[in-house]
């Protein structure tokens, strides 16, 4: 799958599946991940300490894996969008968008680079290009580029109707940790306040025919919001999934060891990663 195929699938009503990469860096990880049945991965550079060279090497490997690599950039600015795409990303996730201006800046960089300045503003405001040839050239050049904006605050929700009028948004990302904190119910994902906010986001996205991507860390929450309308499944992260796998499998092994007199087995709690 490539970015163009991913967009086509989700916009035609299909569901796509991916995870967040918070820890993996070595390009050799792509061989393993390509066997997991994922459609895409989000490589985090907002909270994870990855350098530009690390990201470029990782992206180069993913582009041969059949898994679409999307980079979560640090802030919604064109400079970071173009850095990720120039490094080989097939999409970007711009976090914490709160204004139409931020969204326009991100979309122009994702879909119409290398246009900048007055030309870029004219394209996003009026749809006017230097020529039809330029438009067709850039459409072809960016056909695999996936542009996702993040809604993670009440201010972002309030501006969503206006933001979603900007042509070129392929999906809306919801960051539950940030959103729940901003709503005054930190990590309370069963809170009526939190659930009402998610339903408002889903309704606004449905009205604009824009897929919603909600990043939850448990199977139950992911299933719940999949049933409520999320089409872009972003489940957990590499670090948390590895933690859960070791906890479950070694927990079962240690239980037998304890029964055989090998000593009390120390339990492993929940992952403390917040991303």
C-alpha closest to that of 57 among 16, 97, 26: 26
Q: What mean pLDDT is reported for the chain?
A: 95
At residue 18, the pLDDT reads 97
Q: Which of these ranges, 23-37, 76-90, 101-115, 138-152, has the smallest mean pLDDT?
A: 23-37
Residue 180: inside a domain: yes
At residue 264, the pLDDT reads 83
Q: Could you give the CA distance from residue 178 to residue 116 in angstroms, rounded to a whole number?
A: 31
Residue 227: inside a domain: yes
Residue 250: inside a domain: no
Kindly report, residue by residue over 253-270, the tens digit of the pLDDT.
998 999 999 888 787 888
Residue 32: inside a domain: yes
Q: What is the mean pLDDT of residues 47-62?
A: 92
Residue 212: inside a domain: yes
Q: Which of these ranges, 49-53, 79-83, 201-205, 229-233, has the smallest mean pLDDT?
A: 49-53
Asked if the model's pLDDT at residue 181 lies above 90, the reply is yes
At residue 263, the pLDDT reads 86
Q: Is the dihedral of CA 124, 128, 131, 135 positive or negative?
A: positive
CATH of the domain at 236: 3.20.20.60
Which regions of 200-257 does DSSP assign to beta strands (E)?
212-216, 232-237
Q: What are phi and psi of 103, to 5 degrees?
A: -65, -45
Give the ranges where 132-189 is alpha helix by DSSP (H): 132-141, 154-158, 160-163, 176-182
Query: Where is 205: in which H helix or E strand?
Result: helix 192-207
Three-state secondary-structure class, residue 232: strand
pLDDT > 70: what percent of the chain? Answer: 100
pLDDT tier, 37 (very low <50, low <70, confident <90, very high otherwise):
very high
Residue 266: inside a domain: no
**How many domains does the chain contain in total?**
1
Residue 259: inside a domain: no
Residue 77 near residue 85, CB atoms below 8 Å: no
pLDDT > 90: what percent of the chain? Answer: 89
pLDDT tier, 196 (very low <50, low <70, confident <90, very high otherwise):
very high
Give the residue numbers spanning the domain of 36: 3-240
pLDDT tier, 234 (very low <50, low <70, confident <90, very high otherwise):
very high
At residue 267, the pLDDT reads 78
Q: What are phi and psi of 106, to 5 degrees?
A: -70, -45
Using a 10 angstrom Cβ sphere, with 0-12 exposed, 13-18 middle and 19 or more buried, the burial of residue 73 is buried
Asked if the model's pLDDT at residue 273 lies above 90, the reply is no
Q: Which of these ranges, 22-26, 140-144, 210-214, 224-228, has the smallest mean pLDDT?
A: 22-26
Q: Which residue has the tokens 């986001």?
A: 201
Residue 257: inside a domain: no
């Amino acid at each position: 799958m490539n970015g163009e195929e991913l967009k086509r699938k989700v916009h035609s009503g299909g569901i796509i599946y991916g995870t967040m990469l918070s820890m993996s860096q070595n390009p050799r990880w792509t061989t393993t991940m390509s066997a997991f049945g994922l459609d895409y991965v989000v490589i985090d550079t907002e909270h994870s300490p990855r350098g530009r060279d690390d990201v470029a090497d990782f992206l180069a490997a993913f582009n041969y894996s059949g898994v679409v690599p999307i980079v979560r950039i640090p802030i919604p600015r064109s400079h970071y969008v173009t850095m990720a795409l120039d490094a080989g990303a097939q999409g970007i996730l711009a976090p914490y968008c709160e204004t139409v201006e931020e969204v326009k800046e991100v979309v122009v960089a994702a879909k119409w680079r290398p246009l900048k300045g007055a030309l870029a503003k004219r394209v996003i405001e009026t749809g006017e290009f230097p020529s039809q040839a330029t438009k067709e050239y850039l459409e072809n050049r960016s056909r695999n580029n996936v542009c996702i904006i993040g809604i993670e605050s009440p201010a972002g929700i309030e501006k969503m109707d206006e933001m979603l009028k900007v042509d070129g948004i392929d999906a809306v990302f919801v960051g539950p940790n940030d959103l729940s904190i901003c709503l005054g119910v930190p990590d309370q994902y069963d809170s009526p306040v939190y659930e009402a906010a998610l339903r408002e986001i889903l309704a606004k996205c449905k009205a604009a025919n824009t897929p919603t991507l909600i990043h939850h860390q448990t199977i139950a929450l992911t299933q719940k919001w999949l049933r409520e309308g999320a089409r872009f499944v972003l489940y957990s992260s590499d670090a948390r999934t590895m933690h859960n796998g070791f906890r479950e499998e070694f927990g079962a092994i240690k239980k037998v060891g304890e029964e055989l007199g090998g000593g009390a087995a120390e339990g492993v709690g929940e992952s403390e990663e917040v991303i």
